[in-house]
Amino acid sequence: MFEEKKDIEEQVDGTNSSPVLEEKKRHTANNQLDEAAAYLAQAGHVEYTAEERKAVIRKIDLFVCVPMCLTYFLQQLDKSSLSYAAIFDIQAETNLVGSQYSWLSSVVYIAQLCLQPASSYALIAFPIKYWVTFNMLAWSIVTVCTGAAKNFTGLVICRLLLGIFEATILPSFIFLTQMWYTRREQSFRTIAYQIANSFAAILGPIMSFGIGKATENSSTVKEYQGIFFFIGSVSVAFVPVIFFMLPNSPGTARFLRKGNDRVMAIDRLKENQTGTKSSKWKWNQVWETYKDPKTYIWAAMYFCTSTPSGGFGAFGGLVVKGLGFTSFKAILMQAPTGAIAILTLLITIFLTNQFRARWAIVAACVIPPIAGAVGLVKVQRSDPYILLACYYVAQSLAGIQPLLYSWANLNQAGSTKRVVVFATMFVAQCTGNIVGPQVYLQRENPYYHTGLYVNIGCWTVLFCLIVFMRFYLSHLNRKQVQRRVGLGLPADLKDIPADDGCRVRCCEAYENAFDDMTDFENPYFIYVV
């Protein structure tokens, strides 16, 4: 595989003489074509029908989207195992005091924050299949080992290792989605593995309830230990499945060996204007990333959405238990949160594709969590079921983060730039997840008013940032039009797939689609509002 890859890079090394690359100051772009261009150059022009295209997409969904969904489902189970264990009194069983439980949640994201630069480089340098499955096996083993920890030291070491090995999964999946799917397809696939995440929020509490019942009278295994042992073992069992299914790239995927499947899989990605994957780390794209105001706005958005979700993720079960319910009843009451998240995701992705106004849908998603959090603060504690309803309303927060992933995913290009942008946003997300549990103060148990007020503030700022981003992206699109006019290129381009009746008309726009160009370098790039 590596020899094949080297030969391809040798064949395509060089410069492109298209008008786009002759633009003034165009020398700042790296002209190295990415891997996809080599295969198209070798295959030449290929014709295929809509039915053949759909057949290839089905194969990609089976071997790319399904493994991502399974992996994300299992990761969420492993990550959430601590909050399930908290309902079964892990704090008392392991003698946790003060803010130690909060730090068990935060330390996962501290590890992810520290590992993010290395993880970002790994996505460029290493085959993604091996990188993902190695980390999956490692975090699964760590989850099993967490069940053996009986004090804060043992628990914090296990949670630190869990964060180290889980650090790469979300950036990897964003990168895989960009590598395999067109811009219009990416939203659905991003939502798909986020829905799998929400299914974990349904099945995790049910599994924990059963494990709790099975170990309730055990003299050797505590309820919280059983949760870690079982969930970690399930993850280990699925590692061979993921290893068998997940490919490295469109250029090497075994399931694309039939006929022109491989060429079709790559050719249809031209409309993205983002390429697929380049194995060269390009420092000019790194510098561009940090000159791009979008990078900082996306990062601020991620911080504002992950701070509340980090707090709810760690303390949601304790909030419900604090309403006066038993451990077994409180754990079952966590299951509807996953169903609410799935319903929110399905509604929002439908609306997004109906109205093509991503900013408005994301902004609308912020309002219910604010209302739910206000209810948790203001409603009297004598009405536990009304408070529970407020808690469920706030759980619609699960729709915000996936929609932001999808929106941001469509608004930058260049292999290195995409990785660095999402690494930066992931740093902001980790920072928010670190802060989130810390503002839920133990002395305020079970009210946690400080944490709820911080959540309300974060969502309010997020709403303002979403509106600002809408106007900024529109401004960038106007600048792109002016730039194309200056180059003698078509001023107005339709952001539509190449198979929607415009294959001939748009061929010039797709001419440089597999140059590893950034959105700043490519005048054909259209920002998605």
pLDDT band of residue 499 (cuts 50, 70, 90) is: very low
Whether 312 has a pLDDT exceeding 80, the answer reads: yes
Whether 513 has a pLDDT exceeding 70, the answer reads: no
What does the pLDDT read at residue 256? 84
The yes or no reply on domain 35-486 and CATH 3.60.21.10 is no
Mapped onto helix, strand or coil, the DSSP state of residue 30 is coil
What does the pLDDT read at residue 427? 85
By C-alpha distance, which of 354, 314, 298 is closest to 174? 298
HSE of 217, CA atoms in CB hemisphere, 13 A:
0
> What average pLDDT does the segment 421-436 reach?
88
- For the ranges 82-91, 135-144, 378-387, the maximum mean pLDDT occurs at 135-144
Higher pLDDT, 188 or 292: 292
Task: Write the pLDDT tens digit of every residue in 191-249.
Answer: 888 889 889 999 999 999 999 999 888 878 999 999 999 999 999 999 999 999 999 88
What does the pLDDT read at residue 518? 80
What does the pLDDT read at residue 135? 93
What does the pLDDT read at residue 498? 40
By C-alpha distance, which of 406, 446, 439, 207 is closest to 325? 446
pLDDT band of residue 496 (cuts 50, 70, 90) is: very low
Whether 420 has a pLDDT exceeding 70, the answer reads: yes
What does the pLDDT read at residue 443? 86
pLDDT band of residue 7 (cuts 50, 70, 90) is: very low
Instruction: Provide the token pair at 393.
Output: 């309303």
Cα separation of 330 and 320, whole Å?
6
pLDDT band of residue 258 (cuts 50, 70, 90) is: confident
By C-alpha distance, which of 225, 84, 191, 139 is closest to 405? 191
Size of the chain, expressed as the number of residues it contains: 529
Cα separation of 360 and 344, whole Å?
15
What does the pLDDT read at residue 90? 92
Task: Write the pLDDT tens digit of every residue in 151-173.
Answer: 999 999 999 999 999 888 888 88
Buried b (16+ CB within 10 A) or exposed e, 109-120: bbbbbbbbeebb
Task: Write the pLDDT tens digit of every residue in 477-495.
Answer: 999 888 888 888 777 765 4
Higher pLDDT, 45 or 418: 418
Q: CB 145: neighbour CB atoms within 10 A?
A: 17
What does the pLDDT read at residue 401? 86
Tell me the whole-structure pTM to 2 decimals.
Answer: 0.75
Whether 34 has a pLDDT exceeding 70, the answer reads: no
- For the chain, the average pLDDT equals 82
Q: Identify the burial level of 355 via C-beta atoms within 10 angstroms of its C-beta, where 0-12 means exposed, 13-18 middle and 19 or more buried.
A: exposed
